[in-house]
Every structure is written in structure tokens, then in C-alpha cells.
Chain A
Amino acid sequence: MSFNDTREDGTVFRFLSSDRGMALPMVLVVIVIFVMFSAAILAMGLVDTEWSVLDSNKAQAYYYAHSGAEAVGSYIVENPDNLSSAELKKLVDKLVEKGESMPFKLSSSDEGTIRVNVTRSGKIISIISSSTYKGSSGSVTLNIEEKTAAGEPFDKTVYSESKLTIDEGGRIEGDIACLGKIYFNNGSVTGKVFISPNADSSAVEHPDWIRPVVDRLDEIYEYDVFPFPDYPAYPVGLPADSRTLSAGWNQTVEINNDVYYTNGIDVSNGTLKIIRNNTGRVIRTKYLHVSGTGQVVDVHSGGGNLELFIDDDLELSNDTNMIFNLGDGDIIIRARKLLLRQGHIIVNHKGNGRMYIYVDDIMSLGGSSSINYTYNADEEELMKRSRKVFLYYSGTEDENGNDTVSTDNNNWQSFPQDIRIAATIHVKEAKVHIANGTGIVGNLISGGGAVKFDGGTNTVAKVVYAPEADVYVSGGARITGVIICNSFDIKGGANVVYDEVGPEDMDFFKDVAGKITYAYGNWQ
């Protein structure tokens, strides 16, 4: 055959049929096409089958993994064995500590193996379950949220973890609870005495003439250490002024702009006005000393924040005042040292803003100093004011360099000499001593090892929250509110009076105090 061959009729059929030997090439071409087609179909079929088998195995591996996570998750969340809140939390902590489980199967005939790993990130418990089945693997993560249900945990006047002692005329009005031993030597409790759910009456020791009404707790509540906040960072890049800003006798000086006084501010017998001009104001200074008849006045306008950063000490002496107008913006003060030597931080409440005072190293209070306190307000009004002012202290030494953290010495972070504070006070780790007629209104939170009230002090604290601390109340001290502590000791005619904790204060503690519950989160 030749492709140059031409015919008069020109049809393909004729062309093909008239040439000898044409059928064989045609059949070969058809065979090649068929071979390619069949190879493609065969390959597609085999690959498709392989993938569908793989997909099937992957699905099975996934459901094995899902089974592991679902089983552990349901056990924690639904608590089928009715473990107490504390037991369940202990179990969860143990699972987290142990890490990955031993490999297991749904039944001995199953080919797939499952492993479950329980991890924690804050309040999120992650159950990571992985499995293998016929060479395929699957993995799922079920997140569970750990929640603290507030409410009942604050229905006792005193809730002590390890020990509770009532002696020398100490009096507690309301119920008390202790998971360890309770010693009545000479004192009274007007309410019930609650012991651990598993304890018997020997948990309460008392002389015959004292007849406490003993009951068992239904639940054991958890009281975590209240997280201490991160302090706001000292601002950088502010316009620097290297002069010492001084307000001398009858002088008035003003700060109208954001500024950094690198050589400090002295207000002695004069007035320093901080003018806000309807905006936020950021001031940093090496120190701020107010003495003589000096005063600092915040001329507030607008809803911006006032931020005052002091590299070294904020010292108020000689009955001097810092007067702040708390509008809808916040007032933030950070100082390395807060020295109130008969000084007063006065706060006029005009909006919904809050004041935060952060003290890094030294807090020395004395001489009838005050923070956010007014003698014109009744207790309820003072309590309201206290919810808007927060005093944080992270120091570990007193002004003389004595360690105030160790429970082996007698050095304390003191609130002495008739000082008055209406604020939520949060001390990170130092021992706290409320002494010498001091009056505090507001929640007192301690992460330290001891809190002591004595010397006729009057603390109207909604909650004294010191779950790690041994609390001592003596010397005629009076506390109104609820005390959460590690151990409690009352004597010397002191008394503690129960005061109901309302929703607003309850909400403040909702993340740390109460019954631990677990709720399903998301699958990943």
C-alpha cells in the first residue's frame, strides 16, 4: 500500500478494500487501542479498589480512635461512678500525669489497637485518641472544659482544708467546715460544724460542755489559688523631660501631655495637676514624692485611661492626698514601692471605670493612711467602692529587707496603724498581717502561706480567699464575710460573722472556687 496512491472514486473504503494486506495493520491498531484501554481500565479498577479498601480501613481506624476518646470523655463528663467533685478532679489530674494509656482493643477479636493520651492546657483537658487498623491509622481529639460552679462554696463562714481550732472565746457566727480535724477548746460556733463526707464524729474534738452540731458535707469544693495578674509594662518611647518637676510652696504645676520625668516629681507644699484634656494620659516618672501640704489632683475629662508609672517609689507623707476622679476610663498606677506614711489615695467615683494599683517590691503603709476610703460612706457604699479599686502586691520583703514569704519567720506584709482601705487586695505570696485597728473593706486574696488578723481590727471582707494560708484571728479582731483557708485558728475574743456573698462577688471568684464540673468541648 502506498499513501501516495490515488484513485478516481477516492472513497476510503475502496482505498482500503482494494489493497492487499490492509486487514492486519487494522487489526493491530485495534489491538493496541484495546490493550491501552484495557490497561487503563484495569489500572483504574485496581487503584480504585486499593483506595476504597484504604478508605474503609481508615474509617474503621477513625472509629476505633473515636471510641477511645468517647469512652474517656464520657467517663469524665458524665461521671457514671458518681465520684465526688474532688475525686473526679483527682482522677483527671492523675490521667494527665500518667499521659498515654496502655494499648487496648474493643474486644480481643479486634484487629485494631487504641491508645488514649490525656493532656491539660489550663482549663482545657484534651483527650487525644489514636488507633491503628490494618496499616491505617486514625486520630481524634476531644476537648473537655473544666469549670468551677460557684455558689455553695461560699455558704460557710469558714472553710478550712486541713485544721480548724476555736479557743479562748473565739466566736464564729454561721456554719463552719473542715476536711481535717476540728478542735473546740473554748469558743463557740452558732451554726453547724461540717466535716468531710467520709469522716466520722471523731473529726471533731471538744470538751463535754460544748455540744457542736456536726454534719457531713455533701460535696468537697475546690479552691484554687487565685491567679495573680500580669502587671502592665512600663511604657517606652514617651517624650522625656530630664528636669525634676517640682511644685513648691503654693505653686501649681500641670502635666498636660504624655511625658516621662526621668528625674522624678517632687510635690512639696504645692499642687500637681494632671490634666487629661478629654483623652488618655500616660505619665512615667522616676519617683513621685508628695509631702508637706502638697497634693496631686487628677483633672478628669472624657473616658480615657490615666496611666501613671513610677520607676521607684510613690511616697505620700504628712497627711497628703492624691485625688483621682474615676470616670468611665480606668486609672492604672504601677510603682516599685508604695509608701503611704499618713498619705491618702482619694478616689471620687464618677463612672464605671476601675482603678488598678500595682506594687512590685515594697508596700509600706502606716500612720492612718487610706486608699479609696471615706468616713462619710456607710458599709454598703464602701463595699461598692471596694469593687472598683484593686490593689495588687507582688513583693517578698518588707522595707527593711526582711523576708515576708517564709512561714518560718515572724515578718509580715503589714496593714498596721489604723489604716483604712476600701479595695480588693491581692497579695501574691507574702504573709499578710492586718493589725492595730486597721479597717479593710473588700475582698482580701492571698496566695501566701499565712494571714493574721489581730489588734482589734475590723475587716468587712466579703471573702478572705487564702486557700494556701494558715489564718489566725485573735486579739479582738472582727471579720465579716467568708474565709477560705488551709487552716484556721481563732482565739482571744475574736469573732467572724457570716455575710452572704452575692452574685457580683461570686462571679469574681467563679474561676477558682467551687465545684469542679466537666463539659464537652469540641472534637478535632
Chain B
Amino acid sequence: MRYIRDNGGFSIVEILVCMVLIGLIVVFILPSITFGYLQISESGGRTRAVYTARKVAENELANRENSGSDTLSITFGDGSDRVTINVRGRIVETEESFGAHGDKAKIRLFVPNK
């Protein structure tokens, strides 16, 4: 106190204004930084989750089984002359959680029977 008083460096007004500004930083700017950081972190988590889901999807495609009971119908052309092929297989949904709120990255795909 003696140091400040001796040099007369801060006025009370100055200190009050500074405290208000510091308050503004705390109220507005720090949450923005926190939010930005969380977003980056979450997008990283999402990217990782998508990558893992893709890995699982590729694994499903590479190891096809003959047990699927779903049917994918694909129709070519329209009218009476159309051609429809019905392909048996499985609709696979791979799902990976990420982030603090348990968000999920999903990949859905059709894996034909072997």
C-alpha cells in the first residue's frame, strides 16, 4: 500500500474501470474461448468417431455373411417395362459416441449377402 500510495499510480476510478473491464472479460470473452475450445474438441471427437464407424463399416463389407434378412429393391425404368432387382442382405448401422454429451456418429449401409 505504501508503494502505491508513494507513487500515486492508480486512482480509484482507474481501478473501478479496470475491474469492470476485467469483469467483462470474465463474463463474455472467457466463455467464447471455452466454447471455441469445446467445439474444436467435439469436432475432433466427431472425426475420430466417424473414422471408427467407417472402419467398422469397411470391416462389415469385407466380411460379408449370408445371414441378412433385409431386402433392398432397386427399380430401373418406369412404367410396365421396368426392371426390379431385389438384393438380400443386411442394413448395418455402425455407431460411435463422442463428446461430453454422448453425441453419436452413425454410418448406415447395406451389406449384401455373400
Q: Taking beta carbons and an 8 Å cutoff, which residues of A are in contact with B? A: 16-24, 27-28, 30-31, 34-35, 37-46, 48-49, 51-53, 55-56, 59-60, 63-64, 66-68, 70-72, 74-75, 78, 80, 91, 94-95, 98-102, 104, 106-107, 110, 112, 116, 118
Known: A72-B85, A101-B75. A17 touches B7 (CB 8 A): yes
- Are B10 and A55 within 8 A (Cβ)? no
Known: A38-B32, A80-B87. A102 touches B76 (CB 8 A): yes
- Are B29 and A43 within 8 A (Cβ)? no
- Are B76 and A45 within 8 A (Cβ)? no
- Are A118 and B47 within 8 A (Cβ)? no
Option from B33, B44, B76, B91 in Cβ contact (under 8 Å) with A38: B33
- Are A49 and B43 within 8 A (Cβ)? yes
Cβ of B33: which chain A residues have Cβ within 8 Å of it? 34, 37-38, 41-42
- Are B110 and A42 within 8 A (Cβ)? no
Q: Does B83 have its Cβ within 8 Å of any Cβ on chain A?
A: yes
A31-B24, A37-B33, A38-B32 known, 15 other contacts, Cβ within 8 Å: A17-B9, A21-B11, A31-B29, A38-B30, A42-B35, A46-B36, A53-B43, A60-B107, A63-B109, A64-B109, A94-B76, A99-B77, A102-B78, A104-B72, A104-B73
Can you name the residue of chain A whose Cβ is closest to the Cβ of B73? A104
Known: A19-B9, A116-B74. A48 touches B43 (CB 8 A): yes
- Are A23 and B15 within 8 A (Cβ)? yes
Option from A18, A53, A80, A94 in Cβ contact (under 8 Å) with B88: A80
Option from A27, A38, A72, A107 in Cβ contact (under 8 Å) with B18: A27
Can you name the residue of chain A whose Cβ is closest to the Cβ of B4? A17
The answer for the CA separation of A523 and B78 in the assembled complex, in Å, is 28
- Are A102 and B75 within 8 A (Cβ)? yes
- Are B83 and A106 within 8 A (Cβ)? no
Q: Does B69 have its Cβ within 8 Å of any Cβ on chain A?
A: no
10 sample A-B contacts, Cβ–Cβ < 8 Å, listed by A number: A17-B3, A17-B7, A27-B21, A45-B36, A49-B39, A74-B89, A91-B83, A98-B83, A99-B77, A102-B74
How does the 8 Å CB contact mask read for B61-81 relative to A, with 1 for contact and 0 for none? 100000000101111111000
The answer for the CA separation of A45 and B38 in the assembled complex, in Å, is 7
Known: A38-B36, A49-B43, A118-B76. A98 touches B82 (CB 8 A): yes
Can you name the residue of chain A whose Cβ is closest to the Cβ of B106? A60
Can you name the residue of chain A whose Cβ is closest to the Cβ of B89? A71
Category for how many chain B residues contact A: 35 or more
Known: A45-B37, A59-B107, A75-B87. A70 touches B18 (CB 8 A): no
The answer for the CA separation of A34 and B9 in the assembled complex, in Å, is 24
Can you name the residue of chain B whose Cβ is closest to the Cβ of A37? B33
Cβ of A106: which chain B residues have Cβ within 8 Å of it? 72, 91, 108-110
Known: A45-B36, A106-B91. A98 touches B11 (CB 8 A): no
Known: A20-B8, A20-B11. A71 touches B50 (CB 8 A): no
Option from A20, A56, A64 in Cβ contact (under 8 Å) with B46: A56
- Are B78 and A53 within 8 A (Cβ)? no
- Are A56 and B105 within 8 A (Cβ)? yes
- Are B83 and A48 within 8 A (Cβ)? no
Cβ of A55: which chain B residues have Cβ within 8 Å of it? 46-47, 50
Known: A41-B33, A106-B72. A21 touches B14 (CB 8 A): yes
Can you name the residue of chain A whose Cβ is closest to the Cβ of B112? A74
Can you name the residue of chain A whose Cβ is closest to the Cβ of B33? A38
Known: A17-B9, A43-B36, A94-B76. A34 touches B25 (CB 8 A): yes
Closest beta carbon of chain B to A203's beta carbon, Å: 28
Cβ of B110: which chain A residues have Cβ within 8 Å of it? 67-68, 70-71, 106
- Are A95 and B83 within 8 A (Cβ)? yes
- Are A74 and B87 within 8 A (Cβ)? yes
Cβ of B112: which chain A residues have Cβ within 8 Å of it? 70-71, 74-75, 78
Cβ of A23: which chain B residues have Cβ within 8 Å of it? 9-10, 14-15, 18
Option from A17, A41, A94, A100 in Cβ contact (under 8 Å) with B36: A41
- Are B9 and A22 within 8 A (Cβ)? yes
Closest beta carbon of chain B to A11's beta carbon, Å: 13
Closest beta carbon of chain B to A92's beta carbon, Å: 10
Which A-B residue pairs are the 8 nearest by beta carbons?
A45-B39, A41-B36, A45-B36, A52-B43, A67-B110, A98-B76, A98-B77, A74-B112
The answer for the CA separation of A17 and B6 in the assembled complex, in Å, is 10
Interface residues of B in 86-114 (CB under 8 A from A): 87-89, 91, 105-114
Closest beta carbon of chain B to A297's beta carbon, Å: 62
Cβ of A17: which chain B residues have Cβ within 8 Å of it? 3-4, 7, 9
Cβ of A42: which chain B residues have Cβ within 8 Å of it? 32-33, 35-36, 39
Closest beta carbon of chain B to A42's beta carbon, Å: 4
Option from B4, B14, B35 in Cβ contact (under 8 Å) with A24: B14
Cβ of A45: which chain B residues have Cβ within 8 Å of it? 35-40, 43
Cβ of A101: which chain B residues have Cβ within 8 Å of it? 74-76
Which of B14, B24, B112 has most chain A Cβ within 10 Å? B112
The answer for the CA separation of A104 and B82 in the assembled complex, in Å, is 15
Option from B36, B57, B74 in Cβ contact (under 8 Å) with A104: B74
